[in-house]
Amino acid sequence: MTPHDEEAGASVDASAEASTEVSAEVSADVSADLSAEVSEQDLFAARRRAAALGADRSLHRWSAHLPLTARLSALADAASEVVAPDEPVDIYGNAVVARLEDEVARLLGKEAAAFFPSGTMAQQVALRCWAGRTGNATVALHPDAHPEVHEGGALSAVSGLRTVHPTREPRLPTAEEVRDFEEPFGTLMLELPLRDAGFVLPSWEELEEVVEAARERDAVVHFDGARLWECTPHFGRPLAEIAGLADTVYVSFYKSLDGLSGAVLAGPRTLIEEARTWRHRYGGQIFQQFPAAVAALLGLKNVLPKLPEYVAHARVVAGALREGFAAAGVPFSRVHPEEPHTHQFQVWLPYDSKVLTEAALAQAEETKTQLFNRWFPDGPPGLSVTEVTVTDAGLEWTPDDVNDAVAQFVRRIPG
């Protein structure tokens, strides 16, 4: 080896060593950054949870914020309302789970129903079954629908389905848009209400017309009814009549009924039997699910009858929020929809979402009144958005209470 070779080799070794050191430093820095980020997120989540638990007044109390033992104890204490002392636990979907399925099928006026561990799985299975029966794997739905926004592209990646969008307006498609859509589809999926657009619903007549337009195209209709339970006041129809417009309906138990988890798919008996087969294939044939089933039955018994009252009072709260922001001199604010269609709605304000979240947290911590929770930057251009939910805790709020809370909140927005 020549001196030049030795120098070159030494240079390469030195470079490799230096590169290794730099890589190690970068890795350490990245790990530290990630650790700091995770830690910051955890601290923020803990702060939000503490603020919610520490608030004396709020419009909605989310049971998921409760300590684990408190949640389990509450479920155990209430279980006797819906199950007998000697009733057995379920094994692979019998007993209390089967009873829940029968009850939901009855409420929705469907032949049969199947319990699923998640709504994501329930809807994938429903749409997959319909694709096989119609011979068309294309699903028409809204671009803001849950499968398009919150499921990581699962419809195509897992189930081999293709999605198309009859409209991009922040509402469900009209009959004309469905009737005139430029390509065939096998299933029309309607999310009732459309959560990401502001928990919005069509009128009953519009819903009938859009379903009929799909039928004219030989398509089946599936309702994403995760929040269908609270739609009856808006439509002025019972659950079974609403669900009767669709071939299949999925409903959730933890979103509006304060359950632990789980969903049910309801529809024709033959399709539900096929859905059970696919549920097993998708990994949804769980050994025991009795806690979720008991919580769901409690929700049907105790929360479902209250939802119309929640919806009515949400409209009172929405009107008071508008008045409060106007009185506080906020340059722009919007409650959307202006009259809420359900017990949930959006509020838009022209401030940074982090600033608004901090103001909401500070208000809860300092005054023990929680008016808003977290704000997000994905409202209309220049606006941040939050979701408001009115349940039992909010029923005691008068318009004056809301106005006072708005004034306290606005005072905590810098500038």
pLDDT digits (tens, 9 = 90+) for 255-302: 999 999 999 999 999 999 999 999 999 999 999 999 999 999 999 999
Predicted pLDDT at 6: 40
pTM as predicted: 0.89
Q: Where does the pLDDT of residue 13 fall: very low under 50, low under 70, confident under 90, or very high at 90 and above?
A: very low
Tokens of 373: 């929770």
Predicted pLDDT at 35: 56
Packing angle of the helix pair 95-108, 290-298 (nearest 10 deg): 40
pLDDT digits (tens, 9 = 90+) for 213-239: 999 999 999 999 999 999 999 999 999
Tokens of 201: 């619903």
H/E segment holding residue 1: none
What share of the chain in percent tops pLDDT 90?
87
Torsion of CA 245, 249, 255, 259, to 10 degrees: 120
Q: Where does the pLDDT of residue 409 fall: very low under 50, low under 70, confident under 90, or very high at 90 and above?
A: very high
What share of the chain in percent tops pLDDT 70?
91
Predicted pLDDT at 26: 38
- CB-based contacts of 356: which residues, under 8 Å, 6+ apart? 349, 372, 375, 384, 386, 413
Torsion of CA 197, 361, 314, 237, to 10 degrees: 50
Tokens of 132: 């096989």
3-state secondary structure of 208: helix
Q: Is the pLDDT of residue 197 over 80?
A: yes
Measured CA to CA, the distance from residue 261 to residue 334 in angstroms comes to 32
Q: What is the DSSP string of 329-360?
A: T-S--EEESSS-SSSEEEEEESS-HHHHHHHH
151-156: long-range contacts, CB 8 A cutoff, minimum separation 24? 151/120, 154/120, 154/124, 155/124, 155/127
pLDDT digits (tens, 9 = 90+) for 304-342: 999 999 999 999 999 999 999 999 999 999 999 999 999
- Average pLDDT of the segment spanning 27-55: 74
